[in-house]
Structure 1
């Protein structure tokens, strides 16, 4: 299933870092960034998380929250969040149900072999729970800045 701009965001509820829980229902009335990343504490994912952490004060200034989602179990997620001082929740989608709902659990290929994995993707969800913007196959450099520009346009 492919999530398009203007669609209702698929509902989710996941355990998150710092003993938190994140859900679409709890975010009602608040715009937020929902980003999917392949694996905690790997170079690209660390850079992306740190870029969002750096952009967090500006994003919060626009009224936005940030939620990161990976297929990792909670333990490595907690370690990752602590190691880099990530204030926003990192959620565990170990069953990959949310990733499947958002179309980010996809077939990938490396060195000629195919496997299932998380596509680095970001969704900007508006205060009505609708998908305002979608980024697929995200390249990390400059991504948090691009998300911030799109968030400003939400108004």
Structure 2
């Protein structure tokens, strides 16, 4: 009887915590696949994985970071398992929503350059610019020291610039 009550309490805690960050988790997954349905599938799978692990854990101190990491790993696994399909209608909806004086061609170039990054490297850019995390928060999510996050981030930015320059040269 007592064990059953603890299980119900953990289920309720998990449900409340996931509900409070569900939009953040969806945005994170969407950044990897750029498709609404696939992002929802990733969040669903990650939530299931998180639920199973949460039931076994005594406590999860940084729930947001912990769940973000599960979503990132699930998204990376998903992109590796499936062929990389980009849905143009999803791109155009996202571009229209985030238009800030940047041309559609420039945004497409940026997304193409992002897609050339390794999924692990892409995580740094997504967490910094799409989820708006600080380096400290990124370190918590990625489970690496803050200085490591900074050095990897700036290395990835340099690589992204190279990809963007290559894209400009190819289009000329």
TM-score, with length taken from structure 2: 0.25
The structure whose residues are more often strand, as a share, is 1
Larger Rg: 2
TM-score (norm 1): 0.27
